[in-house]
Amino acid sequence: MTLRVVRGGEEQPELPKASLFLRAGARVLDLGIAWLLYMGTGPAGIVMALLYILFADAMIYGQSLGKKMFGVKAIFLPTRAPVRHRDSVLRNAPFGLVIILFMMPDLGFKAFIGGTIVIGGIEAFNAWRHPQGLRLGDLWAQTQVIDGKVMAGPGELVRPAAEEARATGRANKESPEA
């Protein structure tokens, strides 16, 4: 199954696949940050690591700290805008599951290692074989990781006007209050 972007009844061109080496480097850096959160925040560490992994891609307009350092960006395909928090949680749910497996009593570490091998292997294989580099999380959230320097389309990869007005507190021009 391939996701297609359709706007105004016409199909939009597919975006180029981001380098798997850049994506892997970004993921390793994000896992390192999650590990530091786990080790540095005491009893709440595992929850902090889980929250970072789930929400990281929505931190900096579609970029986690790792994605920012490696120059890749996650976008929501229907609008070609940076991923939002909901999209980030959906696309990173498989990796969140691996962290949840670590929380299991008695089997935690073994379940974590097994989950990392199985889920990480499936996700890496899907990203490698799919023409746009989509993995299961991307299919669930309708997202794609692209090179941060590639424009997704005319005027895309910027905050939509309605969202920009809401974020800055400016009134909408059509609003009766304006």
DSSP 43: G
The segments of the chain whose pLDDT lies below 50 read 154-159, 166, 170-173, 175, 178
Note the pLDDT of residue 68: 92
Distance between CA 149 and CA 12 in Å, rounded? 19
Percent of the chain with pLDDT over 70: 76
pLDDT tens-digit profile of 66-116? 999 999 999 998 988 899 999 999 999 999 998 888 888 888 889 989 988
Distance between CA 61 and CA 73 in Å, rounded? 8
Answer for the pair 72, 63: CB distance below 8 angstroms, yes or no. yes
Question: Domain limits of the chain?
Answer: 16-150
Q: How far is CA 164 from CA 66, 153, 167, in A?
A: 25, 18, 5
Note the pLDDT of residue 132: 87
Name the phi and psi angles at 139, rounded to 5.
Answer: -65, -40
Note the pLDDT of residue 154: 45
Note the pLDDT of residue 147: 86
Q: What pTM was computed for the model?
A: 0.72
Q: Which helix (H) or strand (E) segment is 40 a member of?
A: helix 20-40
